[in-house]
Structure 1
Amino acid sequence: MATIEECRAALEKLSDTLRGADGDVRAAAALDRTVSCHVTDLDVTFTGRLTGGRIEVDDTHPGPPRDRAQIRLAMSGDDLVALVDGELNFAKAWASGRVRLEASLVDLFRLRKLL
């Protein structure tokens, strides 16, 4: 089972990847939105902001998200690490329910370029 530190490192790696992206991916990552990522097996939530083409994690707290972020993710820690490492396909994980993504329809349309 992934640790909180491994999950935080995965989010940092994802942020670095987004910052270095080009084209459509860069445009999709250019959103300015609040973000939460609930790691279900650790029952911890990372909160922050997608801004400037990167994810800035501001806080970590126990339990589910306290506030409703504009982009909300939920998954196990192992799935988060596997997604970021390219070992788990996001679309398949989302379709099977292993990963939950909630956002407005407009944001989902833009975010599809990241997937």
Structure 2
Amino acid sequence: MATIEECRAALDRFSGSLARADEGVRGVAALDRSVSCHITDLDHTFTGRLEGGRIRVDAVALGPPAAKADIRLRMAGDDLVAMVDGRLSFARSWASGRISLEAGFRDLLRLRALL
């Protein structure tokens, strides 16, 4: 089972990938939205912002998100690490219910480029 530190490192790697992405993907990632990522098996939630083409993690707290973020992810820690490392397909995991993504319709359309 992935640790909180491994999950945080995976989010940092994902943020770095967004910052280095090509112009089209970087444009999508340049949204300014609140983000939460609930790690279900560890029952911790990372909260922060997607802004300027990066994900900035502001806090990690025990339990589900205290407030509703614009973009909400829910998954196991091992799935987060595997997804960021390229060993797990986001689209297949989302379609099967293994990973949950909730956002407004317009944001979902924009986020397709990242997935």
TM-score (norm 1): 0.99
Residues 67-106 of structure 1: matches in 2 within 5 Å? 67-106=67-106
Report the Cα offset of residue 23 of structure 1: 2.5
* AA at the equivalent of 1:42: L
Tell me the residue number matched to 1:63.
Answer: 63
Tell me the residue number matched to 2:108.
Answer: 108
Task: State the identity as a percent.
Answer: 67
Report the Cα offset of residue 63 of structure 1: 0.2
* AA at the equivalent of 2:114: L
Determine helix, strand or coil for the equivalent of 1:49. Answer: strand
Q: Which moved more, 1:43-52 or 1:18-27?
A: 18-27
User: Where does structure 1 lack aligned partners over 5 or more consecutive residues?
Assistant: none
Tell me the residue number matched to 1:8.
Answer: 8
Question: d(CA) in 1 for partners of 2:71 and 2:5?
Answer: 22
Question: d(CA) in 2 for partners of 1:105 and 1:24?
Answer: 19
* AA at the equivalent of 2:81: V
TM-score (norm 2): 0.99
